Amino acid sequence: MSSTGCQHLQAYKAAGGKETFRIIYSYFVACSSADARHKKAQICKCVVCGDYRPRLHACLSCIYFGCYDKKHIHQHAEENKHHLAIDVSYGIIYCFVCGDYVYDSELEELARAQCHRASASLGLKQKFFPWEPSEEELILLRCNPKRRRVTEASHIGLRGLINLGNTCFMNCILQSLAHTPILRDYFMADQHACQATDESQQCLVCEMARLYQEFYSGSRTPYIPYRLLHLVWTNARHLAGYEQQDAHEFLIAALDVLHRHCKEMNGISDSNPHHCNCIIDRIFTGGLQSDVTCKRCNNVSTTIDPIWDISLDLGPGSIHSSHLLPSATAAASTAQTPSTGNTGANNGSSGNSSSAPSSLPFASADITTHSPSTSFTNSPGNYEPTSLVECLKRFTKTEHLGNSAKIKCSKCHSYQESTKQLTMKKLPIVACFHLKRFEHSTGYHKKISTFVSFPEELDMTPFMSSARCSNGFNGQVLRSRIPTLTCDNKYSLFAVVNHYGTIESGHYTCYIRSLKEQWYRCEDHLIKRATAGEVLNSEGYLLFYHKQVLEYD
């Protein structure tokens, strides 16, 4: 959108004022060097008041500083016929002839470039400039004054999904994704520019974009996601097949397919596939930090792995590991493999550690616990977490890797016992928690139907790497003292996937949030009103949280 200020500003620009503007801007409005800041601190004072005043202006003709409040800049303008002055705090130009502030696109562009330099010089995040409609878009907006809006009374954004034959697992994930605010905004803003134009029928990302269009079209009839199913199956063959599937597995596979597509679309080179900037990675990827501390020299080795979701153990068991006496495992370990990761080690294990379909790095590491001979230790008993926060506490608790899992310390250069702790290094914008309700243990499979409470608002600060206690032996000491003034690590619940039935057969439904306090229950093609209380009392399987505050980068 272009704006050309007033005729007086145009005349000023024509007389070569652009350069003056740029200099004044870079010295007194947005300083990009220590020298400029120093000058600003010395000089930016109202000539009359002799003091720094709010709404200080600089004359664009002679760099006279005068305040606006006491009309000292007005005085100067009138006396000298210098009609233009610039506001020192925001760099907006005032025209004394027109009696108002004026805007000029060309100067604004100069100003923005300088603002970027200024933020960079202070190590601040780049200033965010909100989206502005272009000339063309403005015309379109004016011609089409009708806007569809998600309100309490409207069903915009809600749509049922036809079950294509045991595809409720997919419908739940699609509903959750469709109501993921930032993902929706991405697709509704038409941000996916498909490179494969002739093959867009084959692009899953395009198909997702269509899904959002369909959801917000205002149509009342259920949507048939058959093309989506076809594309997911062709792209993730291990999911294909007419059978009941795990919603979590589907979610991860769907994210992976989307991620792979986006990566291709963005033409990210194979040489550096890790720095993916695709929408999926930007939204879902968090960083899980693992700190392994050598018990002998306290050397900490840290690794950070990208994660798309956090899988949490439910049953009793894993907690033993943190209380193991190191010697207790010796007998067991000799009978078994020296070091096994999670692949062996626990043939004789009783039903501890509810390692569900997907065993986490966490679950995999507590190999010392799996031998029955070690479970006598003074553990707090069969501790079963009953809330999401408890699950997360357990997830981020320091555990002692026992004698059988000695790790080579890079400092001692020998194999030592160590402790391990997982924390969140980087939080994703959308945090997906997977409660491992499906237990696969030797000899039996069962579903854990324990009620696990989860909050509507979740603060992840205690589980951050920054909250980690440096000695590594009691990671929870510092947690209570973290100030929670900021919303930085706070999340809001926006979708919950529930599973009903047994491990063999069951049904998935989900709850989604459209507006604050406004919940709906989606069961295939039916959408019904729900209350927050109902949601929070449900047997959650997948919990989707959205960051409350987003930072632009």
Q: Which of 75, 121, 200, 476 binds another protein (CB under 8 A)?
A: 121
Q: Give CA 303 to chain center in angstroms.
A: 20
CA pair distance 133, 21, nearest whole angstrom: 26
Considering only 13-21, 177-185, 312-320, 432-440, which stretch makes contact with another protein by CB under 8 A? 432-440
153 forms part of the interface with another protein (CB under 8 A): yes
Least distance in angstroms from the C-beta of 191 to another protein: 20
Contact track, another protein, 357-386, x by CB under 8 A:
xxxxx--x-----x----------------
The length of the chain is 553
**Residue type, position 298, single letter:** N
* 323 vs 411 by CB, closer to another protein: 411
**Separation of alpha carbons 543 and 540, rounded Å:** 7
Which of 168, 276, 391, 409 is catalytic? The answer is: 168
User: How many Å from the N-terminal Cα to the C-terminal Cα in the chain?
Assistant: 23
Q: Give the contact letters, 76-115, x = binds to another protein (CB under 8 A), - = no.
A: -----------x-xx-x------xxxxx------------
Residue 532 found at the interface with another protein (CB under 8 A):
no
Q: Taking Cα atoms as reference points, which of 439, 539, 501, 433 lies closest to residue 166?
A: 501
Distances (CA, A) of 166 to 19, 171, 220, 244, 506: 68, 10, 23, 6, 10
Cβ count within 10 A of residue 82: 17
348 to 12, 81, 357, 377, 441: CA distances (angstroms)? 86, 93, 19, 18, 11
Told to check if 409 binds another protein by CB under 8 A, we report yes
Between 79 and 198, name the residue whose CB sits nearer to another protein: 198
Using CB under 8 A as the binding rule, whether residue 340 contacts another protein is answered as yes
361: number of CA atoms within 13 Å, CB side? 17
Does the footprint of another protein cover residue 237 (CB under 8 A)? yes
* Residue whose pair of structure tokens reads 């930072």 in the numeric block: 551
Using the Cα atoms of residue 136, residue 156, residue 548 and residue 314 in order, give the sign of their dihedral: negative
229 binds another protein (CB under 8 A): yes
Q: Does 218 bind another protein (CB under 8 A)?
A: yes
Q: How far is the CB of 469 from another protein (least distance, A)?
A: 15
Among 346, 369, 379, 498, binds another protein (CB under 8 A): 346
Active site (annotated) includes residue 507 = yes
Residue of 19, 42, 136, 197 that binds another protein (CB under 8 A): 42
Task: Please give the residues from 157 up to 176 whose contact with another protein meets the rule CB under 8 A.
Answer: 158-160, 162-167
Shorter beta-carbon distance to another protein: residue 454 or 519:
519
